[in-house]
Structure 1
Amino acid sequence: MQILLVEDDQRLGKLVKHMLEHEGYRVKWAIRGDEALALASDFVYDVIILDWMIPVLEGAALCRQLREQRYQKPILMLTAKDAVADRVSGLDAGADDYLVKPFEFSELFARIRALTRRGETPLQEEIVSRGPLTLNRSARTVECNGRQVQLTAREFQLLDFLVQNSGQVLPREVILDRIWGLGSEVSDNNLDAYIRLLRKKIDEPGGATLIQTVRGIGYKVEI
């Protein structure tokens, strides 16, 4: 498995690279954001481990550019920023998971395994139409009743997961783990806020809500 490590701290980068290689991973190490962008444009790594505070092109901006270029492999953000707003910002930029420094290597390895397990199941359809919704997974665009709906990367990921499991009740903890990652500190309140935003964007005024609340459990879509 090939990993791109993006970390400008020489001591930490050297240590993380050594520990990953000891676990059997092949690691390419970049120090600057522009260098990492060039490497990721030339080769599709299984996982990118991305520090937030890197020179030239900082981590969140790099992550956003990669997603705009349709880079679909998992991205794990490393950062000393531990405020909820910072975590949400990183996830909205397109990161799949978030690990706050300092961290235990056992947790880093567990998160990599979790991310790669999710990536083992390919998307079956590029364009998915369910009821009034049409999702284009490559372009990350959504139409609802023929109108374009502008969603953030995280909102699209959440809606896509709900639509994939149409008719099933998805517990909150399942949604949080699938969308924000193992061990994320994103709370139920954050999930509720995302659901409210999605409803505001996709529901027709005066019409029934597409995303239903199942009290005490989670959410489901019936389309």
Structure 2
Amino acid sequence: MRLLIVEDEVHLAEALTQILKKHHYAVDVAHDGREGLDHALSGIYDLVLLDIMLPELDGISVLKALRAEGVPMPVILLTAKGEIDDKISGLDHGADDYVAKPFSTGELLARIRAALRRKGDAIAEDTLRFGDIELNTSTLRLTCKGKELKLILKECGLLELLMTRNTAITSKEQMIEKLWGFDTEVEHNNVEVYVSFLRKKLAFLDASVRINTIRGVGYVLEVTN
């Protein structure tokens, strides 16, 4: 899953990025409200950690703009300790939750997991299922018929994207935006490499699930008999 951090305190943003990457989230960072809003409107993020006190455009204004555009993704506000009015305003304008600074890593991760579950993008124990395969996005483990493999992070992210989209076709552009971010120089052949890796691992597990190429369009999961 890809998260967006909108935080003007550079050191805090860097610390959050390292924590989240350690727990297998893909992360992008914006350091002011306008940049954060532009990123958040791209549609590639599963959740936003949004500071309230931001330059250019404050967090509440960013939140209002997102909800006005009909963007439903979860937003967790990062608030100053004791700022009750900010918390109330944020919740009234569509925030899903808030965390008061300073916060513990465990609390933040728990609130992220809870917000994603409410959205419906995660299920019990962070496990996704499609056909005869199961993918645990926390441990990066792919299982099928009692056999198990550990994926690398990009493989897990790619398979997670395909599984959550179910039978919808996913383009290479969507994969690049989701896995690497929209401001990247990654090319289509990078996607093809990871698709090839996943196909070999699915074959090794003797899974009935295949990654089918829709020429000129993208990829889709299918179950073969």
Shorter-chain TM-score range: 0.5 to 0.7
Aligned partners of 1:25, 1:80: CA distance in 2, in Å?
25
Q: Partner residue of 1:113?
A: 113
Q: Partner residue of 2:65?
A: 65
Q: Partner residue of 1:77?
A: 77
Question: Which one-letter code corresponds to 2:89 in the other structure?
Answer: S
SS of 1:64 mapped into structure 2: helix
Q: Partner residue of 2:16?
A: 16
Aligned partners of 2:81, 2:30: CA distance in 1, in Å?
21
Aligned partners of 1:75, 1:101: CA distance in 2, in Å?
16
Pairwise CA distance, 1:86: 2.3
- On the 8 A contact 1:44/1:73 being kept in 2, the answer is no
SS of 1:115 mapped into structure 2: helix
Question: Which one-letter code corresponds to 1:54 in the other structure?
Answer: L
What are the ranges of 5 or more consecutive residues in structure 1 without an aligned counterpart? Answer: 122-223
- On the 8 A contact 2:81/2:102 being kept in 1, the answer is no
Pairwise CA distance, 1:81: 4.6
Label 1:39 to 1:83 Cα distance change in 2 as closer, same or farther (>3 A). Answer: closer
Aligned partners of 2:17, 2:118: CA distance in 1, in Å?
23
Q: Partner residue of 2:41?
A: 41
| 1:125-172 CA-partner distances (Å, limit 9, x unpaired) | xxxxxxxxxxxxxxxxxxxxxxxxxxxxxxxxxxxxxxxxxxxxxxxx
SS of 1:42 mapped into structure 2: coil
Matched ranges for 1:127-206 at <5 A: none
Aligned partners of 1:10, 1:22: CA distance in 2, in Å?
18
Q: Partner residue of 2:28?
A: 28
Question: Which one-letter code corresponds to 2:102 in the other structure?
Answer: P
Label 1:83 to 1:35 Cα distance change in 2 as closer, same or farther (>3 A). Answer: closer
Aligned partners of 2:84, 2:78: CA distance in 1, in Å?
14
Question: Which one-letter code corresponds to 1:41 in the other structure?
Answer: L
Q: Partner residue of 1:2?
A: 2
Q: Partner residue of 2:142?
A: none
Counting matched residue pairs gives 122
Aligned partners of 2:119, 2:67: CA distance in 1, in Å?
15
Pairwise CA distance, 1:42: 1.7
| 1:86-139 CA-partner distances (Å, limit 9, x unpaired) | 211111121110100000010000000000001117xxxxxxxxxxxxxxxxxx
Question: Which one-letter code corresponds to 1:50 in the other structure?
Answer: L
Question: Which one-letter code corresponds to 2:91 in the other structure?
Answer: L
SS of 1:91 mapped into structure 2: helix
SS of 2:50 mapped into structure 1: strand
- On the 8 A contact 1:6/1:36 being kept in 2, the answer is yes
- On the 8 A contact 2:79/2:86 being kept in 1, the answer is no
Moved more, 80-89 or 49-58: 80-89
Aligned partners of 1:81, 1:55: CA distance in 2, in Å?
19
Q: Partner residue of 2:217?
A: none
Q: Partner residue of 1:152?
A: none
